[in-house]
Amino acid sequence: MMLAKPTLLSRPQVRPAASRPRAVIVRASGQPAVDLNKKVEDAVKEAEEACAKGTSADCAVAWDTVEELSAAVSHKKDAVKSDLTLSDPLEAFCKDAPDADECRVYED
């Protein structure tokens, strides 16, 4: 049975309090922290290797993993398309601050 590799999250370095900035600007990228497409490609390679070397049970498990990862990619794309706040940072901003100048809509 193939086990997924643990994902390590990088942590920012902590600076002394005197040198910390007063404001932090964070921008959403819309991209996942882990590239799911790369995981799908790797899973396909592993599945092909498992089918070439292993038993049919190993092969089936490997292709099930590929199917699950592919479904995750598809669901993520659908979620981004259906929720504009995930794909457009301005939409997310305007959802939180509808009275901001950037969010005003003028109709003639």
Give the pLDDT score at 33.
44
- Do the domain assignments include residue 39? yes
Q: How many domains does the chain have?
A: 1
Mean pLDDT of 4-19: 55
| 63 within domain boundaries | yes
Alpha helices in the chain (DSSP H): 36-53, 56-82, 84-87, 89-96
Residue 79 lies in a domain: yes
Q: What is the pLDDT, as a whole number, of residue 16?
A: 54
pTM of the complete model beyond 0.85: no
User: What is the overall mean pLDDT for the chain?
Assistant: 75
Domain that holds residue 96: 34-103
Show Cβ contacts of residue 54 under 8 Å, excluding neighbours closer than 6 positions.
none
Average pLDDT of the segment spanning 91-102: 87
For 37-81, write each residue's pLDDT tens digit.
Answer: 898 999 999 999 989 987 888 899 999 999 999 998 888 888 767
Are the C-beta atoms of 85 and 95 separated by less than 8 Å?
yes
